[in-house]
């Protein structure tokens, strides 16, 4: 169960438990973010997706409905919201090697 702000109060959402993301897909996400980052250390969602596709990975392998969901579900990345669907990701603080 998840609790979120909604209007002036809160709402509770229940979702079925998700299966864990395969370790190979988590590794592919890390490689995609590291391999597509700009000079500022951030990777755009588009370049991450392109990197994954170029290396034969599909979203279906993650078990998530979107690439943003997969990146967030891994718990490894920081996200910078640039408005709309424009989001950038980097390996989370304390997880950089």
pLDDT tens-digit readout, 10-62: 776 665 556 789 999 999 999 999 999 999 999 999 999 999 999 999 999 99
**Considering only CA atoms, which of 80, 74, 78, 75 is closest in space to residue 91?**
78
Which pLDDT score is estimated for 85?
83
pTM > 0.85: no
- 66-82 pLDDT tens trace: 999 999 999 999 999 88
First to last CA, the chain: 33
Tokens at residue 49, please?
């997706």
Q: How confident is the model at residue 3 (pLDDT cuts 50, 70, 90)?
A: low
Residue 94 pLDDT > 80, yes or no? no
* Distance in angstroms (rounded) separating the CA atoms of residues 31 and 97: 12
Which pLDDT score is estimated for 53?
96
């Amino acid at each position: 169960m998840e609790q979120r702000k909604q209007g002036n109060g809160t709402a509770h959402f229940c979702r079925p438990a998700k299966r864990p993301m395969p370790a190979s897909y988590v590794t592919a996400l890390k490689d995609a973010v590291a391999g597509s980052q700009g000079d500022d250390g951030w990777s755009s969602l588009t370049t991450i997706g392109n990197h994954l596709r170029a290396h034969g990975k599909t979203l279906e392998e993650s078990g998530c409905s979107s690439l943003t969901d997969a990146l967030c579900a891994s718990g490894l990345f920081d996200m910078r919201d640039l408005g709309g669907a424009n989001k950038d990701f980097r390996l989370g603080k304390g997880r950089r090697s």
